[in-house]
Amino acid sequence: VCWNDLVAIGLMNGIARAGLMPGHDISVTGYDDLEEASIATPALTTVWNGQTEVGRLAARALLDRLAGSHEPDGIHLIKPEMRIRQSTGVHRPRS
């Protein structure tokens, strides 16, 4: 499990250079759901964290504040989504 997609893609490259197959021998996951995640080889399993929606809500709050509204309009929770791709596989116990 990597803290972002770029690290995960780098890890997959290192795993492949070591003669192993990401997603088959070792599962790899990232976080961010960058565009590169879906075109990596293998495609990277990652967590989408709603960064576009967070940006939209932050901009709206800032614009409201600049317009004179000092009342917050509540707490907004963005539900992350796991994007399962080929870099993770079924758990196989060691023999």
Residue 10's H or E segment, with its range, is: helix 5-17
Each domain of the chain, given as residue ranges in start order, spans: 5-83
Query: What superfamily does domain 5-83 belong to in CATH?
Result: Response regulator (3.40.50.2300)
Q: Is 86 helix (H, G, I), strand (E, B) or coil?
A: coil
Structure tokens at 54: 């967070």
Nearest CA-CA partner of 24 in 72, 80, 91? 91
> pTM of the full predicted structure?
0.78
- On the CB side of 31, how many CA atoms lie within 13 Å of its CA? 6
Residue 27 pLDDT grade (very low, low, confident, very high; cuts 50, 70, 90): very high
pLDDT in tens, 58-89: 898 889 889 887 777 778 889 999 999 999 98
Strand partners, 83: 46
